[in-house]
Structure 1
Amino acid sequence: MFEILDFVSRRERVTAKVIARELDVSLSTCYRLLGILVDEGYLEKLPRCGGYRLGPAIPLLYGRATGRFLETSVEPVIEELAMRSGRHAYLGVLDGGQVTVAQVKSPPESPPVGVVRGFHGASHALALGKVLIAGAGPDGIEEYVECYGLEKFTPRTITEKRHLEDHLRGVMVRGLAIDVEEFAENLCCIAVPILDRDGRTRGAIGISTSARRFDSELRALAPMVRRAAREASDILEEQNQPMRGVLADKVQQKPPRG
């Protein structure tokens, strides 16, 4: 089966007869294996030429491993949060031990955003980053401090390891992180983790507001971010459902095609 996938990836629209000949298997066995792969979405059968190409399950597997599928899967959730709150909304993912801002959505007629899409770094000073570091547990916190240090961006930035550890323990308990002008003046953020079925942090959703508005808006904005994170977690759960069958069982039980 892996040989078939590899062969098809290099020769799109290749037919079953060519695959059987090149891989030195019987045509009936080849059809049976191709049928299983098509049923599971790893291959697609092209009706006109009768050939095969890689199916949608292949990029889904890669997306599960890298987390990149989150960027497109939860985009509507981020957009809705921005519209509902009237504030900039963000998706953050952990990449190389640092937060990367994978999505930024803005409400209509909004001023320029404080943290742009593609921004990478400053995890200890951003609510999104705090959620992701805290989600990595004590070892993740230790590794972050050792690898990246605690750079000072404003007078409010946490720059002491013990202080950061205490702060992130609170983040884990509350399931919510905030930063109040820790990365940039007049920029305040709220973030909540996106969790998988095992309770592991796979990303973070957040919104930003100004320092002037933060105290008065926190009570209203925090539930909005929590709701969006639950919706994103539900999407993650749906995306990570097992494939419809067990390939080994199908290989044994499915009758030959041909």
Structure 2
Amino acid sequence: MGDPADHTPMTAVQHAFRLLEAAAAHEGGAPAAQLAREAGLPLEAALETVRALTEDGYLRVLDDGGLVLSGTPHDGNSGQGAVDLVRPALAALRDDLSAAAYLTFYEEGEIRVAEIVDGPQTPRVDLWVGFEQAGHATALGKAVLRELDDEARRDYLARHALADLTPRTITHRDELLQQLESSMRTPVVMDREEYDLGTTCIAVPVYNGGKLGSLGVSFRADRMYRTRYVRESLLASADRVSRGLTLDP
């Protein structure tokens, strides 16, 4: 159990996940004290985290005072439940790396952004071209393409032109496939100013049951100075996100 006075980003997200896991087990809602016990947290620390999760919209207070995941069918928005559940992990990743955090899913043959968590000091990249048309030019897209089987990857590339977005964009299919295959030793994929000049992104795959996605962060190109730490933090966050996604009601 964490010290109630410990407010580091990683401790905060661990507390949040424990409470969200406990809340996910009670579709009818449960009081904060019960969730604290089931999460194995001191009541004071749990109440502080519950307050933050409620204010940010991750938990909802029922008429009887019980707490329920705000993405459950009770509020008619079950499709958003998975993203609601892992948003604290995205926020912690943003704070840990001082970088905007992104989550995508591969749905119906397209790579779609599900959530972006940024802030005044960590602005998102200018999405001047939709990710559905830029999978070849983004770390988030490449992380998905890398995980697809050969048939699904061929199908995607047959339906999407490799548009020249910057002078660094890979526009030749064989070169892109060679890059994806060369990264098979590690799940970490990067794009270096291939989508937006001045921006470098790094991403890894995540899974929501059988659904593939990716988790990534973006930096100014001149700020990529702690690559090993960034990768370790991103991989740890991806593991938490994948575990959190499985809790979607």
Q: Same fold (TM over 0.5)?
A: yes
Tell me what 2:242 maps to.
Answer: 233
Choose the corresponding residue for 2:137, options 125, 132, 153: 125
Choose the corresponding residue for 1:176, options 180, 183, 188: 188
Q: Residue 182 of structure 1: CA displacement?
A: 0.4
The within-5 A match list for 1:61-210 is 63=79, 69-107=81-119, 109-110=120-121, 112-116=123-127, 119-121=130-132, 122-196=134-208, 202-210=212-220
**Are residues 1:211 and 2:218 paired?**
no
Tell me what 1:224 maps to.
Answer: 233
Q: Residue 201 of structure 1: CA displacement?
A: 5.6
Distance in 1 (CA, whole Å) between partners of 2:158 and 2:127 is 26
Count of residue correspondences: 180
Q: Would the alpha carbon gap of residues 196 and 113 (structure 1) be closer, same or farther in structure 2, given more than 3 Å must change?
A: closer
Q: Would the alpha carbon gap of residues 128 and 165 (structure 1) be closer, same or farther in structure 2, given more than 3 Å must change?
A: same
Q: Would the alpha carbon gap of residues 150 and 220 (structure 1) be closer, same or farther in structure 2, given more than 3 Å must change?
A: same
Tell me what 1:7 maps to.
Answer: none
Assess if the C-alpha contact under 8 Å between 1:134 and 1:140 holds in 2. Answer: no
Distance in 1 (CA, whole Å) between partners of 2:75 and 2:122 is 40
Assess if the C-alpha contact under 8 Å between 1:101 and 1:118 holds in 2. Answer: no
TM-score under structure 2 length normalisation? 0.63
Distance in 1 (CA, whole Å) between partners of 2:178 and 2:142 is 12
Q: Residue 181 of structure 1: CA displacement?
A: 0.3
**C-alpha offsets along residues 13-45 of structure 1, whole Å, 9 cap, x if unaligned?**
xxxxxxxxxxxxxxxxxxxxxxxxxxx97xxxx
Assess if the C-alpha contact under 8 Å between 1:91 and 1:206 holds in 2. Answer: yes
Assess if the C-alpha contact under 8 Å between 1:124 and 1:130 holds in 2. Answer: yes
Which runs of no fewer than 5 residues in structure 2 stay unpaired? 1-25, 28-71
TM-score under structure 1 length normalisation? 0.61
Q: What is the identity, as a one-letter code, of the residue corresponding to 2:109?
A: G
Assess if the C-alpha contact under 8 Å between 1:178 and 1:191 holds in 2. Answer: yes
2:112 aligns to what SS in structure 1?
Answer: strand
Q: What is the identity, as a one-letter code, of the residue corresponding to 2:121?
A: S
The within-5 A match list for 1:27-66 is 56=73, 63=79
Identity of aligned residues (%): 26
The more displaced of 111-120 and 217-226 is 111-120
**C-alpha offsets along residues 218-240 of structure 1, whole Å, 9 cap, x if unaligned?**
12211111111000111123447
Distance in 2 (CA, whole Å) between partners of 1:205 and 1:85 is 13
Distance in 1 (CA, whole Å) between partners of 2:163 and 2:248 is 37
Distance in 1 (CA, whole Å) between partners of 2:158 and 2:98 is 38
Distance in 1 (CA, whole Å) between partners of 2:185 and 2:76 is 35
Q: Would the alpha carbon gap of residues 227 and 151 (structure 1) be closer, same or farther in structure 2, given more than 3 Å must change?
A: same
Q: What is the identity, as a one-letter code, of the residue corresponding to 1:175?
A: P
Assess if the C-alpha contact under 8 Å between 1:154 and 1:182 holds in 2. Answer: yes
Q: Choose 1 or 2 for highest CA Rg.
A: 1
